[in-house]
Amino acid sequence: MAKSGNSSASNPPRVAVAILAAGKGTRLKSKLPKVLHEVGGKPLLAHVVAAATRVLPASDVFAIIGYEAGRVRGTVAHTGVNFVLQSEQKGTGHALKVAREALSPYDHVIVLSGDAPLITPQTIARLLNFHLDQHAAMTLLSAELDNPTGYGRVIRTGRRNNEVRAIVEEKSASAAQRKIREINAGFYVFDVAELFVYIKELSAVNPHSEYYLTDMAGILCKAKQRVVVWKTEDAREVLGANTHAELAIIDHQMRARKCYELMAEGVSIFYPGSCVIDGDVAIGADTVIEPYVQILGKSRIGSGCRVRSYSVIRDSEIGDGVLVRNGCILEGARVAADAALGPYSHLRPDSHIGEGAHVGNFVETKKVKLGKGSKANHLTYLGDAEIGEGVNVGAGTITCNYDGVHKHTTTIEDGAFIGSDTTLVAPVRVGKGSYVGAASCITHDVPEDSLALGRAPQVVKEGWARNRRASRKEMIQPKKLPRGTSFEE
């Protein structure tokens, strides 16, 4: 049975997670707290919270917050995790000191870094199990990096065992220690009782004048407590984001991971390095994603679709067999099966595009229902409109939905035909099967099966142009200049 503080043999150990998230992130030179900087479409801290809450219930997860605490709390509060306030940030060791009361009911605490978002639930669980198996007071996760600069280095007691004598921070390390490529990943498991017996021995006499949590390794080792290390194979998981360059590297890793997951599910991604796909996006098999596509937020794309280059799809749902041609922008839109969009369509929130419908070149939609098989193929604005099935919306049609104060609805019933360059001044209704002549301005309802013409009658003046040309010719007849005259004279 693992050593587990106050738990008895029949009770599993009580385990908490503490996430260090109180720091400012000085190296980012940003007003935004470090843990709220985004990678993979979500704040750093949201990734760490998601991994933690897949290992333990949110009620056992404690985020230690300080810099811009309100803002940080607001970002992850919906997950149900707890918060501990570290109002002055005096170092990673100090962060755990302030969490003492919150953690005292637990036997073990897993410590995660709020700025290292690639950590997986599997690795957290393996680290915990290793700690319990090893009966350790402190277990740390390490990785071998080609370039260990900036990280704390792991000093083992011997080559063969997994016991640790100390962790040395980069700034305090000797030249020989800096050559060590095994780094402290910043993830630990502590026996809570031992941690709080010895944490008072931390001192802030170091180049940063901070209480380093990493010094607990040396302190516990000297006190004959067991400190062990488990080295992960996948060094990418431990990357921390301290600078914008590191944020970019982590974002890239995360995007790549997502693309390969999708490809394993049967999605074709032609040029994954160029596509930006957020972690929560779902895409069905046999869908093809062309280069330079962004699929963001909670978007869902069915199977057998094709998304052509330079399209950006955010928080939208797309059915099976949909073609999204080049350069479309979708935000909060719903597109039913077999519809075709673009090139260059802009679907704004609450655009519901029906099955097999077409939305084409430079068409903007907002709060619209476009029925099954209906078409709006060119240069059109459809806002606050209910459009039935089998409707043809001609090029350049505009729904005039806004009177400067209120929005009004345009209704176009099944099978209607709206001629090109029509303006529909809402509130207005075009009845089932009706025709609206091209270039009409429709201000009154059109009953079913009628033809509406809302344009000035055409006037034709025969011969007018010929006469005009003739009279202009007379007027602009050039004066004859004597031969050899130059214009400078």
Q: Which residues are catalytic?
A: 378
CA geometry: angle 101, 103, 105, nearest 5 deg: 95
Joined tokens for residue 104: 């005292």
The residue within the footprint of Ca ion, chosen from 60, 107, 115, 194 (CB under 5 A), is: 115
Phi and psi dihedrals of 414, rounded to 5? -50, 140
State the DSSP H helix or E strand holding residue 156, giving kind and residue range, or none if neither. strand 153-156
Contact residue for ligand UD1 among 13, 40, 186, 218 (CB under 6 A): 186
Distance from the Cα of residue 111 to its chain's centroid? 25
| Closest to Ca ion by CB, 148 or 240 | 240
Piece of the chain touching Ca ion by CB under 5 A; list 27-35, 36-44, 107-115, 204-212: 107-115
Q: Which two tokens stand for residue 348?
A: 């704004």
Distance CA 340, CA 330 (A): 13
Q: Shortest approach of ligand UD1 to residue 57 CB, angstroms?
A: 22
Q: Does 185 bind ligand UD1 (CB under 6 A)?
A: yes
Closest contact distance (angstroms) between CB of 142 and ligand UD1 is 9
Count Cβ neighbours within 10 Å for each residue of 32-42 and write b for 16 or more, e otherwise. ebbbbbebbbb
151 near ligand UD1, judged by CB under 6 A: yes
442 binds, among ligand UD1, Ca ion, none (CB under 5 to 8 A by kind): none
The residue with its CB nearest to ligand UD1 is 152
- Buried b or exposed e, range 303-330, using 16+ CB within 10 angstroms: bbbbbbbbbbbbbbbbbebbbbbebbbb
Among 16, 17, 22, 49, binds ligand UD1 (CB under 6 A): 22
**232 touching ligand UD1, by CB under 6 A:** no
Q: How far apart are CA 39 and CA 248, in angstroms?
A: 8
By CB under 6 A, name the one of 13, 41, 43, 91 that touches ligand UD1: 91
How many Cβ atoms sit within 10 Å of the Cβ of residue 488?
4
How many Å from the N-terminal Cα to the C-terminal Cα in the chain? 113
Per partner kind, with CB cut-offs from 5 to 8 A, the member of Ca ion, ligand UD1, none near residue 103 is none
Give the one residue of 16, 17, 18, 20 binding ligand UD1; rule: CB under 6 A: 20
Between 148 and 360, whose beta carbon lies closer to ligand UD1? 148
Residue numbers at the binding site for Ca ion (CB under 5 A)? 115, 240, 242
Residue numbers at the binding site for ligand UD1 (CB under 6 A)? 20-23, 34-35, 64, 86, 89-92, 94-95, 113-116, 151-152, 167, 169, 183-186, 212-214, 240, 242
